[in-house]
Chain A
Amino acid sequence: MWTALQVLRMRPAYGFLGRPLKRFEDQHLITGNSQFVDDLKILNMLYAAFLRSPHPHARIRRVDLSRLRRMKSVVVWMTGEEVYRLSKPVPIIWYLPDMRIPRHYALALDEVNHVGEAVVAVAAEDRYEAEDALEMVEVEYEPLEAVVELDKALSQDGPLVHEEFGDNICYRYRLRAGDAEKHLESSQHVLEERFRVQRLAASPLETRGVVAQYEKSTGMLTVWSSTQFPHILRTWLADTLGHDEARLRVIAPDVGGAFGVKGEIFPEEIVVPLLSIKAGRPVKWISTRREDFLSSTHARDVRAYVRAGFTDDGVLKALDVDIEADFGAYLHVFTAGGPFITAHSIPGPYKCDNINIDVVAAFTNKVPVSAYRGFGQPEAAFIMERLMDIAADELHLAPEEIRLRNLIQPSEMPYKASTGVRYDSGDYPTVLKKAVELAGHHLPMPGKRIGVGISFYTETTGFAPSRLFHEDGLVMGGYDSARVRMTPSGNVEVFIGASPHGQGLATSIAQLTADILGVEPGDVKVLHGDTFNTPYGQGTFGSRSLAVAGTAAALAAQQIREKILAIAAHVLGCDRTGLEISGGEVQHPSTSKTITVKEVARQAYLAYNLPHGLFPGLDATVYYDPAGLPKSYGAHVCVVEVDTETAEWRIVRYVVVHDPGVIVNPLIVEGQLHGGTLQGLSQTFLEEVVFDGDGNLLTTSFMDYLIPSSVEAPNIEVHHHETPSPLNILGVKGVGEAGTIIAPPALANALSDALGVKLNSTPVKHGELLRALADG
């Protein structure tokens, strides 16, 4: 078994691990040959459309479908009553103790609880006709008072989202370490601050979409979905629909971005198969952008009240944090986990022995929230990083100095926090100092102010292992899997259970597999997304795929490697020890005997001349469950220039120094940081899901919900620092969520610094900046 360090040392010898190879994913994407769900066309396919609630809260009095019968292109339709008879509720995978679970079927039964909740589904000969058909459906609603504001949801005598619960609380959760009250009392400085992170929409450029094809004769149901976890979707769809899992095939074809929002099981993924079964024909549904805002889960929407005790020297002694989360109307697969993760992500990279965290999660009549890139961690990072800057100000310390006094030290690694969270490896202070040094000093031009924002993060990556999932209330495994098969011609197929959707995992895995098997990365084809040919896996989310599925691939490739060496030794008639593979050849150093890997592969399948006891073929499957969660970390420094008259600002320098463990492909790692950082920055200045006071969603297009364009995007300088993780043989950690976790406070700190204000709530509105200028 290799260690991470050996892998690093191996680099010059093999040369693919660590190289910025062009991606194998790209060629079909740049030539228009992609296969996204909407690109799929099946003979006799119908198109589905969903009638959605215009009310945030209402009783359904009557549904009149009689006019549908007169539309000749409409083939089948479905209401909540039929869905109730044919399927179980929309699945939930994350459970916390004493959590209340509202009744939630794929179509509303007798009550709607948010604008956009699906009420009726129709399938027609074409998409235009399906949408026409919706106009023929009459639903009579009896509007009920809606719970829109979180304050109203938490008040004792307000209206109720789900009457049966008696109040609007989904769950309360407490996290305790040491004695926070005592240490707050004895602290020399106690800060009290309020923070808010707004509601966001992940908004991948490809909206969600589903195609279902049911074949009555065989009972085969095939579902193509724009999903991050085809195997999990299959298992839960089988359960929800009562369908034989072996006769249910889920395929995630090309997926046009997901960012967490497609790691869910949505009502449409249940209803479209039901429509296909009912019609006996394939059915396609593609979400419009408007529907995406109305029906895909939103994210964040958390506020916090924090008391923090510091010594005169700026050492953090105690934290008391109240977190209030607005969950919207229902629980989805991961909804419950968000504020739980926030609680466990405090204090992040800093040491603090005395911690009180109280979470309350409440229902409102809004679109439900769930996972989105960073999931729970950005909220914690925003709290901690704003807090550090505010404390630095009060204690007259430099922002980097107060951080250095509180960071976990390299000598303390592996570190176990007071809350039980584990940190595997790294040198936090060095990375912070390097980032500050690289960002340099900036002097303002006339009429401008300069603001510098420093932020430091840890990112929980490699989302696993199974035991921890179980302890934290997740009803899924944490492992992932890979099957490595060398064909008789010496090409390599790697089938993985993870399901990447833009990350470039196929290239990264090809690189490390090539190194282990001594072939070219171009000889390695990585396949994913189809439950019929990939081993069972949890999917791609939580920056887990390289650390978990990648390690599984490496372990499986090592088994193949061992077998290649055994066969080579047998054929060459030499000793197994000392044999090495590189450049497509197995060499025996002392005798200079060689045999090509291709020839070994041929021998493995012809199988007439194998070592005694060795099975034919070169095919290995590994299910790998890691020992723990690797923590990536890093520092961002954001330098802004603010106009002293208009408060217009721009980022003049953005420096990232980060440690994602061993880097397999720097091009891909940098790409993840560029994209994630811009998504994070736009939390601070641009994006916000807005409901009006009555619960109507106001942001239903990219005209209202602003995602950044190339003009708003800064150039991001990325510097790597590699400390291998001891938790897997590759030494890798994850990198996907770093940007959205830590960019928001970097910009908020920079703007706060420039204007001498406390910007504790995102998004920061231009008016706030103008007011800050006016106030001095």
Chain B
Amino acid sequence: MAVRKRVEEIGKKRPVTVEINGQKYAFEVEPRLLLVHYIREYAGLTGTHIGCDTTNCGACTVLMDFNGKWKAIKSCTMFAVQANGKRIITIEGLAKDGELHPLQKAFWEHHGLQCGYCTPGMILAAAGYLMINPNPTEMEVRHGISGNLCRCTGYQNIVKAILAAAEEIRSSGKPVIE
């Protein structure tokens, strides 16, 4: 009986409203639901991936609004209830009006992806980093994305792509995320 009661307790759902890529989502979810599962299973946005479950690999990286500032966070170690009322950008929300984001273009141009599994998280981590440091050196880029693992590319072309995108963003005069 004790077990059953505990299960019921855990099962008590709470309303969670999150704005993802400019669209509002509202679901009743268990408090234990991870944000990444909210994004993937409830909002149906499967571009955000899960690679390790322990915040090491960054495949689940999304941008979250903290008091008007976008920051890259790992959505596999945040509960959906903690994101209640937040704004989020996922890989699906990066291209605007059919135009690829400079980071997306640069990853494509410079062969910054092979299997593509880490790519959405990597691109968003790069976006998060370029907002902190819009004019990074190669080594700074390497440190800036060191929380995101890629098993295919050896990072060389990823770094190249991010440097190229940073350059393009700077010369366009636009913010990293509009």
Task: Identify the A interface with B (CB < 8 A).
Answer: 22-23, 25-27, 29-34, 36, 38-39, 41, 70, 127-128, 132, 136, 203-207, 254-259, 286, 288-290, 501-504, 667-668, 670-671, 674-679, 701-703, 707, 709-711, 713, 715-716, 739
Contacts and interface: CB of A to CB of B under 8 A. Distances in A.
Contact of B111 (A31, A206, A257, A667): A667
B152 A32 contact: no
B124 to A, nearest CB: 10
Residue with the greatest number of chain B CB neighbours at <10 A, chosen from A36, A205, A668, A675: A205
Given A32-B46, A34-B47, A710 B145 contact: yes
A518 to B, nearest CB: 26
A557 B114 CA distance: 26
A675 B152 contact: yes
A27 B150 contact: no
Contacts of A259: 151
Which of A41, A206, A503, A715 lies at the interface centre, i.e. has the most chain B CB atoms within 10 A of its CB? A206
Contacts of B142: 710-711, 713
B128 interface: no
Interface in B74-123: 90-92, 94-95, 100, 104, 107-109, 111, 113-120, 123
A666 B80 CA distance: 44
A634 to B, nearest CB: 16
B149 interface: yes
- B interface SS class: loop
Contacts of B7: 132
B50 interface: yes
Contacts of A23: 108, 111
Interface string B127-152: 00000000000000111011111111
7 closest Cβ contacts across the A-B interface?
A32-B47, A29-B116, A256-B117, A502-B115, A674-B154, A32-B91, A702-B56
Given A206-B49, A257-B114, A711 B151 contact: no
B164 to A, nearest CB: 13
A29 B30 contact: no
B153 A205 contact: no
Given A677-B154, A716-B156, A34 B57 contact: no
B91 A501 contact: no
- Please report whether the interface of chain A is mostly helix, strand, loop or mixed according to DSSP: loop
Contact of B116 (A203, A256, A679): A256
A257 B152 contact: yes
Contacts of A29: 113, 116, 119
B159 interface: yes
A206 B51 contact: yes
Contacts of B147: 709
B157 interface: yes
Contacts of A670: 111
Interface residues of B, number: 61
Contacts of B37: 127
Contact of A38 (B50, B90, B115): B50
Nearest to B141: A710
Nearest to A27: B108
Nearest to A680: B154
Contacts of A136: 3
A671 B151 contact: no
Contact of B33 (A128, A289, A715): A128
Interface centre among A256, A288, A290, A710 (most CB of B within 10 A): A710
A713 B7 CA distance: 46
Contacts of A710: 141-143, 145-146, 148, 150, 155, 158-159
Contact of B156 (A33, A288, A701, A715): A715
Contacts of B63: none
Nearest to A502: B115
Given A502-B115, A675-B151, A710-B142, A36 B49 contact: yes
22 contacts: A29-B116, A31-B47, A31-B92, A38-B50, A128-B30, A132-B7, A205-B49, A205-B59, A205-B115, A205-B151, A256-B117, A257-B152, A289-B54, A502-B114, A502-B116, A503-B114, A504-B114, A671-B114, A701-B54, A709-B146, A710-B146, A716-B154
Contact of A674 (B4, B53, B94, B156): B156
A34 B50 CA distance: 13
B117 A32 contact: no
Contacts of A290: 53
A552 B143 CA distance: 44
Given A32-B91, A34-B116, A36-B117, A671 B111 contact: yes
A776 B8 CA distance: 66
A132 B104 CA distance: 39
A674 B91 CA distance: 25
A403 B45 CA distance: 54
A710 B92 CA distance: 25
Contacts of A286: 50
Contact of B115 (A204, A667, A679): A204
A713 B156 contact: yes
B97 to A, nearest CB: 13
B32 interface: yes
B146 A31 contact: no
Nearest to B108: A26
B52 interface: yes
Nearest to B114: A502
Name the residue among B90, B94, B149 with the largest chain A CB count within 10 angstroms: B149
Contacts of B155: 674, 678, 709-710, 713
B61 interface: no
Contacts of B94: 31-32
A207 B156 CA distance: 23
Interface in B6-36: 7, 30, 32-33
Contact of A289 (B32, B52, B157): B52
Contacts of A716: 154, 156
B143 A22 contact: no
B146 A206 contact: no
Contacts of A33: 47, 92
A160 to B, nearest CB: 36
Contacts of B148: 709-710
Contacts of B3: 136
A383 to B, nearest CB: 25
Interface centre among A70, A204, A676, A709 (most CB of B within 10 A): A709
